[in-house]
Amino acid sequence: MKKKEFKAESRRLLDLMINSIYTNREIFLRELISNASDAIDKRYYESLTNKDVKVNKDDLEIWIKVDKDKRELIVSDNGIGMDKDELDSNLGTIAKSGSLLFKDKMEEKEDVNIIGQFGVGFYSSFMVAKSVVVRSKKQGSDVAYEWKSEGVEGYTIEECQKDDVGTEIILTLKDNTDEESYDEFLDIYNIKAIVRKYSDYIHYPIKMDVSHRSKVEGKENEYEEKVTTEILNSMIPLWKRNKSDIKDEEYNSFYADKFYDFEKPQKIIHTKVEGMLSYTALLFIPSKIPYEYRTGEYKPGLKLYSNGVLIMENCEELLPDYFGFVKGLVDSDDLSLNISREILQHDRQLKAIQKNIGSKIKSELENMLANNRSEYDKFFENFGIPLKVGTYSNFGANQAELKDLLEFYSSSEKKLVTLKEYVSRMPEDQKAIYYACGDSYENIAKLPQVEKIEEKNYEILYLKDPIDEFVFQILLAYEGKKFTNVATEEIDLGSEEEKEATKKLNEDNKEMFTVMKEAIPEVEVIRFTNRLKNHPVCLTTEGQISIEMSKVINSVNDPNNKVKPKLVLEINESHPIAKKIQDLFKESKEDLKDYAKVLYSEARLIEGLSIDNPVEISNLICKFIAK
Ligand code: ADP
Ligand code: MG
């Protein structure tokens, strides 16, 4: 028979397992039981959706058997089973994120102690077994196959005899050495303890035959060995237990096991709802951004159970889109078991659960915001973007729900603040909520337009996420205070006289600006301004599209279809440059045009925009320096 080779990364993981000196080897049993339970879930689910598959729920079970003489530990299930191809691909490669993540971490630093933090899966059996045999018969198939491996050299698959659908995993334990003994995994009492520790909530019975010495009835001093079948687990799903009886570690290990996230969740929400619609929800907010978020493979949704039985792995309808980062499950006795995806989409009960869950998550977040700000800031660091996207999308349909959960960086507080906090601090004479955009807080702080507003002691919100400005465009105002971009919008800071003076200055210099515009045709308006303090120039826009927005839009749009903001070059009326250009207008129109080019380029650079003609501009600057 031909031996097949493991894929390279499986080999490596396997190698780690075989040679591991990890003390917590017992977790292999948790992994095998969890696989068995998954397989039974799948078979049961099949039976609900496929008329040809008939399964009696009460027959579904997991068995553990021990053969001390052969040093065998056997875990079997009557789940969905695997066919030949599945044995090959499921056991020959590492597919699951848990194992992959583990492998990556392992490569970073060789520390076996991190094994326990990961769902290392099937291969963990090689921590205790010198040979692993998997005999399996797939639901709907007549033939059974046997997969066998003794380690990294490879594995074989051949046909075998097996009557019932399901999978049987036979571990032949490693030989004891002077340092290591594996006998504990043949010890019935120890096995019982391991199952209770890790797999108590598995909702199928885990059965084992246990023999006891007991008195022979009616006889004084005679004993006999009696074998009884015991169910080792309580079968009560974690979420059905009383909140007060559940330890944090139990929640955390459940979360790791079910959701392949081995960092403990930031927030656990466990809630029972009774009434018209009864359900239990167990929700987790991850403490970091899920890996799949970055790769775009993240699937939002909650697991859906009906009375303890999994009926859908990922039910999107249970969560509002903007809370898509929440993981967890919902168990409702009110739902019909053979509910199909199509029905679900229109299910009124489900819509109602979604609404309830949405408000529950929201109120938990509000609590965190009010009572544990540093935790909330950490949360917002991770998941602020989905909340902002939620505020903005669907034409702002959910803005009322979300606007008080948003945080933005404040120029005066130097930390994240809410809109409510901002407004509560606004001085009497401040009319609007000011904000400025850029790619970092440092760069925003240096924007020419920011200076003058800060001089007035007004707070400015610094926006560095590209989505932020879109959010403000949808919100328009908060508590009646309009959002105002300090770089682009008319800002009413000066007195009436000052405004009149600037207006007159601009009218008097109309012709000068016309000449300057000839040199920089992409600029639509040039004017003097009184809103800059020390800086000579700034670039602003008029109309709907700001410079920051155009950067975002153009980065996703077709390059031939770029949007162009309506550019305005503003020149500080009290800067010496103002007088200089007015002189040049009289003395040399050519120099004035060159000045216009240089000033415009300066303004572009400050805004974080590139300049099209760097050589020309550099030469011009040198020309003026040399004069
Ligand atoms: P995971 O459970 O995270 O997918 P494992 O390494 O534990 O990773 O298992 C790999 C795959 O092998 C499973 O996804 C499943 O498809 C298959 N498998 C393992 N054990 C069984 C079983 N008892 N019955 C059916 N399929 C199984
Ligand atoms: Mg597994």
d(CA 602, CA 584): 19
Residue 33 Cβ < 6 Å to ligand 1:
no
Topology annotation, domain 494-627: Four Helix Bundle (Hemerythrin (Met), subunit A) (1.20.120)
Nearest residue by C-alpha to atom 14 in ligand 1: 90
Q: Report the relative pairing of strands 327-331 and 302-306 from DSSP bridges.
A: parallel
Distance from Cα 135 to the centre of ligand 1, integer Å: 13
- In which residue are the tokens 């901002």 written? 422
Residue 31 Cβ < 6 Å to ligand 1:
yes
Residue 337 identity:
L
> What is the residue extent of each domain of the chain?
8-231, 238-371, 396-486, 494-627
Identify which has the larger pLDDT, 608 or 503: 503
Nearest residue by C-alpha to atom 23 in ligand 1: 36
Residue 87 Cβ < 6 Å to ligand 1:
no
Mean pLDDT score, 36-53? 89
Angle, to 10 degrees, between the axis of helix 614-626 and the axis of helix 589-606?
Answer: 120
Work out the angle at residue 130's Cα, subtended by the Cα atoms of residues 115 and 79, and round it to the nearest 5 degrees: 75
Q: Choose which CATH entry (3.30.1330.180, 3.30.559.10, 3.10.25.10, 3.40.50.11260) describes domain 396-486.
A: 3.40.50.11260
Give me the pLDDT at residue 157, please: 96
Share of the chain above pLDDT 70, in %: 92
- Counting every residue written for the chain, the total comes to 627
Task: 540-544: list long-range contacts, CB under 8 Å, 24+ apart.
Answer: 540/449, 540/487, 540/488, 540/567, 540/568, 540/570, 541/487, 541/488, 541/565, 541/566, 541/567, 541/568, 542/488, 542/566, 542/568
Distance from Cα 528 to the centre of ligand 2, integer Å: 69
User: Tokens representing 316?
Assistant: 């999107």
Distance from Cα 136 to the centre of ligand 1, integer Å: 12
Q: Which of 27, 31, 35, 60 has most ligand 1 atoms within 8 Å of CB, for mutation?
A: 35
CA 562 from chain center: how many Å?
A: 31
Query: Which atom of ligand 1 approaches the CA of 36 most closely?
Result: 23
Among 543, 549, 525, which residue's Cα sits nearest to residue 607? 549
At residue 146, does pLDDT exceed 80?
yes
Q: Which pLDDT band holds residue 320 (cuts at 50, 70, 90)? A: very high
Residue 77 Cβ < 6 Å to ligand 1:
yes
Contact 455, 411 (CB under 8 A): no
3-state secondary structure of 171: strand
d(CA 430, CA 493): 9
Q: Which pLDDT band holds residue 97 (cuts at 50, 70, 90)? A: very low
Nearest residue by C-alpha to atom 19 in ligand 1: 35
| Helix, strand, coil percentages in the chain from 3-state DSSP, rounded to 5 | 45, 20, 35
Identify which has the larger pLDDT, 295 or 103: 295
Q: Choose which CATH entry (3.40.50.10490, 3.30.230.80, 3.40.640.10, 1.10.357.10) describes domain 238-371.
A: 3.30.230.80
Out of 249-263, 401-415, 508-522, least confident range: 249-263
d(CA 200, CA 203): 8
- Which string of DSSP letters, residue by residue, matches 468-496? HHHHHHHH-EETTEEEEETTTS----S-H
DSSP H or E run through 330: strand 327-331
Give, as one character, the DSSP assignment of residue 118.
S
Write the pLDDT tens digit of every residue in 345-368: 667 778 889 999 999 999 999 999
What's phi and psi for 304, nearest 5 deg?
Answer: -115, 125
Residue 121 Cβ < 6 Å to ligand 1:
yes
Residue 96 Cβ < 6 Å to ligand 1:
yes
Q: Which pLDDT band holds residue 106 (cuts at 50, 70, 90)? A: low
Task: Confirm whether pTM is higher than 0.75.
Answer: no
d(CA 279, CA 240): 10
Ion ligand 2, residue ranges at CB < 5 A: 35, 121
Residue 36 Cβ < 6 Å to ligand 1:
yes
DSSP H or E run through 283: strand 279-285
Q: Which pLDDT band holds residue 258 (cuts at 50, 70, 90)? A: confident
How many other C-beta atoms are found inside a 10 Å radius of the C-beta of residue 409? 19
Residue 97 Cβ < 6 Å to ligand 1:
no
Residue 599 Cβ < 6 Å to ligand 1:
no
Residue 427 identity:
P
Write the pLDDT tens digit of every residue in 480-521: 999 998 877 667 666 778 888 889 999 999 999 999 999 999
Give, as one character, the DSSP assignment of residue 176.
P
Nearest residue by C-alpha to atom 27 in ligand 1: 35
Q: Which pLDDT band holds residue 319 (cuts at 50, 70, 90)? A: very high
CATH class of the structural domain 8-231:
alpha beta
Query: Which atom of ligand 1 approaches the CA of 77 most closely?
Result: 23
